[in-house]
Amino acid sequence: MTALHSPHSEAPPEAQARRLGSVRARLAGSPLVRHGGILRTRLVRPADLEALVRDAVESHARATEARVESSADLRGDPERWLESAPGGDAINRFATSEAVLERLRCATDVPWQPAGPGSWSYYRRSGHHLGLHQDLAVCDLAVITCVVDEGDSRDSGVLRLWPSRVRDDLDAIRRDPTGAVDIRLQAGETLVLLGGIVAHQLMPLAPDHVRIVAPLCYQVDPTRPE
């Protein structure tokens, strides 16, 4: 669900293991891990939502479509069909704001920094989706913010996660998908997720459903005090 799904932005898993290893004990006792590695919250101030929607709509002029119908099960490279675009000033201000960084630190007991610039994902055609995956190693913490969710129905556009299956590989989850948790983010809501550990997917959109999210990636910030 995160922006950095393209294989060229892969980072060595060893580097991620080192980053997370340095904070493992604090993370283990944090509110995020106590909630199974997923935390639904509100990080967008109501007054800022309109600017984020405008950023998402304007950025769509630079969107490109990804349609990948089979996957080698590489991390961060699932089968998928969606549009993505680099974000503008509003999403990057949000991603780097002290208020958001502080909220993330409180949720995890760990300081974070954005792993890269913000982007938007657009799910706006019937069948747009993101297949089952875990996030790239460059993404220690996924922060998924929904800014538009119009015309939803049933499980269209639902984020389906397996927080109780972190020891199972993706094939095992495909064979037996029990234990799923479904979350439908409303506009203005954010999901904080250990996306490299908790498998997740975005269920296919029904006709006339439009959903726009900012899938931000963060890494442990070694320059900040604990």
Residues contributing to the site for Fe ion (CB under 5 A):
1-2, 135, 195
- Of 79, 78, 76, 104, whose CA–CA distance to 13 is shortest? 76
Closest CB to Fe ion: residue number: 1
**Which CB atom, from 65 or from 89, has the smaller least distance to Fe ion?**
65
**CB contact burial 182-199 (16+ within 10 A = b; e otherwise):** eebbebbbbbbbbbbebb
Q: How far is the CB of 199 from Fe ion (least distance, A)?
A: 9
* Whole-number Å distance between alpha carbons of 31 and 90: 28
Q: How far is the CB of 1 from Fe ion (least distance, A)?
A: 3
**Which CB atom, from 110 or from 159, has the smaller least distance to Fe ion?**
159
Q: Count of CB atoms within 10 A of residue 22's CB?
A: 14
Q: How far is the CB of 47 from Fe ion (least distance, A)?
A: 28
Q: Is 173 helix (H, G, I), strand (E, B) or coil?
A: helix
* Whole-number Å distance between alpha carbons of 53 and 61: 14
**Which CB atom, from 147 or from 199, has the smaller least distance to Fe ion?**
199
Q: How far is the CB of 183 from Fe ion (least distance, A)?
A: 13
Q: How far is the CB of 194 from Fe ion (least distance, A)?
A: 11
* Whole-number Å distance between alpha carbons of 224 and 110: 9
* Whole-number Å distance between alpha carbons of 39 and 143: 10
